[in-house]
């Protein structure tokens, strides 16, 4: 009799083309769209940037340096001190460093086009949308900076930076300027405190050790969204089975089964197995399609089938719980709520749309406490080369989740006297 119930649920699904299209066609379409649209973002491909930066100097830097050195010589300092100051200034001319070390270095010269302009062209440059950033160097900038650095006199001068907020490159240039300011301040501190011998060590020494997480084969965008859409859409099978079962109750099919002296537990087991089998087949179809058309290859097929079976059992538990609640409250409201609200929440937390777990470990924990999130983490680990033992925590959660739902469904399922 259990086999007949499972067969009946399969036939009901096959005779519902709209449900089949949503369960199978929708995830396939979403994998193609999301995997293609977000591939460069997910796989860390570099953006092609073509930045234009204009630099306006109100006053020649060399003339300011000469003026500063004349002031130094008039102070009557020892020749050795004057020579040391002159040597340091030659290595720390701020605008020259900005031109050569920031915008003119080997890594950036092919990306950034630096145009030197006259102050009279400021308004014209600001009106030109092709420029990401316009930098204006005010009068006495270098002179005031040297006074501030060497003698700690006055206030540290600042550059006037005009950003084109519509240009993506403006943020990049802003970050470069902030880094330049930090490095310039460090260099000034080193020079002022006689720590020149430490400078090469500071520049070359990494802060901490760089460790690559998941050092095996990384998952591509197609891999990620094939898994994400599969584990999300398989949850709709639970609500579909629950809806079919409730329609059977409305049509008195369940009552006829009870009157035929068939145990309610037979029907209970049939619904559970229906959800599990359909869920298992659904996952195999989606992942099979992804293998053929999107190249999603599983390095460990045994681990893949174990995770798929564990997740399918959890889907079966969801199916029988939703059915039991529908029978208990005599309404399919719970299946509608599950498919419209709960699945969306589970999919978001589980990472079907975006890897939210990368934002914080707490969000990752919440995601792994959803059935689709645990299955997705297990699938991704398999793709990255992890073994079955490495994903045992996710398998254990899916098993506990399924058992808990089955027990809850058993207590919620109506007894023979309340079957009508």
Residue 304 near residue 298 (C-beta atoms within 8 A): yes
Percentage of the chain beyond pLDDT 90 is 20
Q: What is the pLDDT of residue 277?
A: 94
- Top-confidence residue, 27 or 311: 311
Q: What are the residue ranges spanned by the domains of the chain?
A: 2-43+223-418, 51-204
Residue-wise pLDDT tens digits, 214-245: 444 566 778 888 898 999 999 999 888 888 87
Residue 1: DSSP 8-state: -
Closest listed residue to residue 242, CA positions, set 304, 316, 160, 343: 316
Distance, in Å, from the CA atom of 295 to the CA atom of 290, rounded to the nearest integer, reads 6
Q: What is the pLDDT of residue 416?
A: 55
| Mean pLDDT of all residues in 87-114 | 76
**Backbone φ, ψ for residue 320 (5° rounding):** -75, -30
Residue 65 near residue 145 (C-beta atoms within 8 A): no
Q: What is the pLDDT of residue 33?
A: 79
pLDDT band of residue 192 (cuts 50, 70, 90) is: low
Q: What is the pLDDT of residue 168?
A: 60
Q: What is the pLDDT of residue 260?
A: 64
Token pair 């109100």: residue? 58
Helix (H, G, I), strand (E, B) or coil at 163: strand
DSSP, residue by residue, 227-282: HHHHHHHTHHHHHHHHHHHHHHHHTTHHHHHHHTT--HHHHHHHHHHHHHHHHHHH
Token pair 């989740």: residue? 401
Residue 394 near residue 242 (C-beta atoms within 8 A): no
Stated as kind and residue range, the H or E segment containing 18 is helix 17-20
Instruction: Report the range out of 79-93, 143-157, 215-229 with the highest average pLDDT.
Output: 143-157
Residue 54 near residue 117 (C-beta atoms within 8 A): yes
pLDDT band of residue 82 (cuts 50, 70, 90) is: confident
- Top-confidence residue, 3 or 47: 3
Q: What is the pLDDT of residue 145?
A: 84
Residue 48 has pLDDT above 70, yes or no: no
Locate 143 and state its tokens. 């002179």
pLDDT band of residue 79 (cuts 50, 70, 90) is: confident
Closest listed residue to residue 301, CA positions, set 319, 287, 320, 322: 287
Locate 341 and state its tokens. 């609200």
Terminal Cα-to-Cα distance of the chain (whole angstroms): 21
Helix (H, G, I), strand (E, B) or coil at 129: coil
Q: What is the pLDDT of residue 245?
A: 78
Other C-beta atoms lying within 10 Å of the C-beta of residue 49 = 14
Q: What is the pLDDT of residue 318?
A: 94
By CB neighbour count within 10 A (0-12 exposed, 13-18 middle, 19+ buried), where does 360 fall?
exposed
Percentage of the chain beyond pLDDT 70 is 80
Residue-wise pLDDT tens digits, 359-418: 778 888 988 999 999 999 999 999 888 889 989 999 999 999 999 999 998 888 776 544
Instruction: Report the range out of 109-113, 167-171, 314-318 with the highest average pLDDT.
Output: 314-318
Q: pTM (2 decimals)? A: 0.59
CA distances from 82 to 68, 78, 86, 89 (A): 11, 6, 6, 11
Residue 157 has pLDDT above 60, yes or no: yes
Q: What is the pLDDT of residue 212?
A: 36
| Mean pLDDT of all residues in 148-160 | 80
Residue 172 has pLDDT above 90, yes or no: no
Locate 248 and state its tokens. 């059977």
Give the chain's radius of gyration (CA, Å).
34
Residue-wise pLDDT tens digits, 311-366: 999 999 999 999 888 888 888 788 889 888 998 899 888 888 877 777 778 888 98
pLDDT band of residue 303 (cuts 50, 70, 90) is: very high
Closest listed residue to residue 248, CA positions, set 2, 5, 411: 5
Residue-wise pLDDT tens digits, 370-379: 999 999 999 9
Helix (H, G, I), strand (E, B) or coil at 52: strand
Q: What is the pLDDT of residue 39?
A: 55
Closest listed residue to residue 397, CA positions, set 335, 271, 311: 311
Closest listed residue to residue 48, CA positions, set 107, 111, 106: 111
Residue 203 has pLDDT above 50, yes or no: no
Residue 109 has pLDDT above 80, yes or no: no
Locate 374 and state its tokens. 């645990």
Q: Are strands 133-137 and 160-163 parallel, antiparallel or unpaired?
A: antiparallel
**Residue positions counted in the chain:** 420
DSSP, residue by residue, 195-215: -GGGHHHHHHS-SS----SS-
């Amino acid at each position: 009799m259990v086999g007949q119930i499972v067969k009946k649920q399969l036939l009901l699904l096959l005779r519902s083309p709209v449900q089949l299209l949503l369960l199978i066609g929708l995830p396939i379409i979403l994998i193609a769209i999301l995997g293609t649209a977000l591939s460069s973002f997910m796989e860390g491909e570099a953006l092609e940037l073509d930045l234009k930066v204009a630099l306006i100097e109100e006053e020649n830097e060399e003339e300011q340096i000469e003026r500063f050195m004349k002031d130094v010589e008039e102070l009557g300092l020892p020749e050795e001190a004057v020579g040391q100051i002159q040597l340091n200034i030659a290595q720390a001319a701020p605008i020259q460093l900005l031109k050569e070390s920031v915008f003119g270095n080997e890594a950036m010269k092919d990306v950034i086009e630096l145009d030197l302009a006259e102050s009279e062209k400021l308004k014209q440059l600001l009106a030109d949308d092709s420029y990401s950033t316009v930098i204006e160097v005010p009068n006495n900038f270098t002179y005031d900076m040297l006074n501030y650095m060497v003698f700690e006199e006055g206030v540290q001068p600042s550059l006037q930076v005009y950003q084109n907020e519509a240009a993506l490159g403006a943020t990049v240039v802003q970050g470069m300027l902030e880094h330049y300011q930090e490095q310039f301040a460090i260099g000034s501190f080193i020079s002022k405190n006689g720590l020149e011998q430490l400078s090469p060590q500071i520049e070359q020494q990494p802060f901490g050790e760089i460790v690559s997480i998941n050092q095996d084969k990384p998952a591509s965008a197609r891999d990620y969204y094939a898994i994400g859409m599969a584990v999300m859409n398989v949850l709709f099978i639970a609500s579909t089975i629950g809806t079919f079962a409730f329609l059977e109750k409305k049509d008195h099919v369940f009552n006829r089964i009870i009157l035929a002296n068939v145990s309610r537990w037979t029907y209970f087991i049939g619904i559970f197995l229906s959800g599990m089998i359909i869920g298992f087949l659904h996952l195999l179809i989606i992942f099979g399609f992804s293998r053929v058309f999107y190249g999603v290859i599983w390095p460990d097929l045994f681990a893949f089938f174990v995770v798929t079976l564990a997740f399918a059992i959890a889907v079966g538990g969801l199916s029988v719980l939703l059915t039991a609640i529908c029978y208990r409250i005599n309404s399919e409201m719970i299946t509608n709520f599950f498919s419209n609200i709960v699945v969306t929440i589970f999919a978001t937390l589980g990472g079907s749309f975006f890897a939210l777990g990368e934002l914080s470990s707490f969000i990752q924990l919440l995601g792994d406490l959803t059935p689709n999130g645990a299955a997705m983490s297990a699938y991704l680990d398999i793709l990255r080369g992890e073994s079955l033992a490495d994903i045992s925590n996710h398998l254990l959660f899916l098993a506990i989740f399924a058992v808990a739902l089955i027990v809850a469904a058993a207590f919620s399922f109506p007894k023979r006297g309340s079957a009508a």
